[in-house]
Amino acid sequence: MPSPRVAVAPDRAPSWVRDAVVAGGGQLVDPPEAEALVWVGGPDAGSFEPVLKAAPGARWVQLPWAGVEPYAELLDPARTWTCGKGVYAEPVAEHALALALAGLRGLPERAAASAWGSPGGRTLFEARVTILGGGGITEALLALLAPFRCDVTVLRRHPAPLPGARRVVGPDQLEQVLPGADVVVVALALTPETTGIIDARALARLQDHAWLVNVGRGGHVVTDDLVAALAAGAIGGAALDVTDPEPLPEGHPLWSEPRCLITPHTANTQEMARPHLVARITENVRRFAAAETLVGLVDVDLGY
């Protein structure tokens, strides 16, 4: 079985990326000679496009992130594309659970307190949880929620059953799965259909103690609508690992909102991601060499 010719870009890519390619049986080459391309640069299509053009023979392209929306205009159906979907599922699910617990227990307010205050908080045990999205993050989160005996509803494009979810519904059921939820977790791919899915109408359907947790993309939430809902006390609070805009500017109203907890897109850090991404690159290079189905395939038409 010949070694596939694989280019790694950008030039400043860390050595462990090249080591991962070699471990999978790949031969490192420059982009013009490549039949496969591993891109580990930032989500900047402007810097990626010249590399892509320099590798016209690259039949397969590996992208580093789960979300591929920055590259949407470059997703050529003539190539096979894979991304980091599923690679970061467990750490992101862990973060979502931490945010949910922090919100329900009132930790954002208590962390800023300078006096004893009054007791409060809710338990996650036997709570009603609605998760928007049915990918790897949701699968990992369902496993983490199992000990809490939560009543979980999942909304996904294809409403096939998922272990740990009491029911799975399609996108047309959004307005039906928000009322009654104690926690709503957003773990979706960002597409034109999901952009702004949490807007004033959706927020109005939540209970006044419900917490919104967003570990998807900032664009899933209409920020001004969330600010208004929090200011009015219409929901219990919001825990956000992603925002729109991102990074959230200093002085933005969400920073001073006592029932809002913001982490700077750290549900998955480079330290957490590295061993998982190494394994993904190595496995996909091996599969490419063996003409096997690759892991983390991108559906160019759907955009994720």
Residue 151: in which H helix or E strand, if any?
strand 151-155
pLDDT at 45 over 70: no
Q: What is the mean pLDDT of residues 55-83?
A: 93
Q: Do residues 64 and 128 share a domain? A: no
Residue 173 burial by CB count (10 A; 0-12/13-18/19+): exposed, middle or buried? middle
Task: Examine the domain organization and report whether 11 and 112 are in the same domain.
Answer: no
Q: Which domain holds residue 25?
A: 5-87+269-289
Query: In sequence order, what are the residues at sequence separation of 6 or more whose Cβ sits closer than 8 angstroms to the Cβ of residue 105?
Result: 121, 122
More reliable by pLDDT, 117 or 28: 28
pLDDT digits (tens, 9 = 90+) for 165-207: 999 999 999 999 999 999 999 999 999 999 999 999 999 999 9
pLDDT at residue 197 in the model: 98
Q: Answer whether residue 300 is part of any domain.
A: no
Categorize the per-residue pLDDT at 1 as very low, low, confident or very high, splitting at 50, 70 and 90: low
Q: 252, 263 in Cβ contact below 8 A?
A: no
Residue 151 Cα distances to 121, 129, 156, 177, 210, angstroms? 19, 6, 17, 12, 14
- Would residue 231 count as lying in a domain? yes
Question: Does residue 73 sit in the same domain as residue 129?
Answer: no
pTM across the whole model: 0.88
Check which CATH number belongs to the domain holding 65 and give it: 3.40.50
Residue 294 lies in a domain: no
Residues 40 and 110 in one domain: no
The reported pLDDT for the residue numbered 23 is 98
| Backbone angles phi and psi of 109, in degrees to 5 | -70, -40
In a domain, 297, yes or no: no
Q: Is residue 208 part of a domain?
A: yes
* pLDDT per position as a tens digit, 261-289: 999 999 998 888 899 999 999 999 999 99
Q: Answer with the one of 226, 247, 262 that is the final residue of a domain.
A: 262
Does 66 fall in a domain? yes
pLDDT at 13: 93
Q: Is 6 helix (H, G, I), strand (E, B) or coil?
A: strand
Total number of domains in the chain: 2
Residues serving a catalytic function are 217, 246, 265
Looking at residue 136, its pLDDT comes to 93
Domain-embedded: residue 225? yes
Please report, for the domain that includes residue 112, its CATH number: 3.40.50.720
Q: Is residue 295 part of a domain?
A: no
Percent of the chain predicted with pLDDT > 70: 99
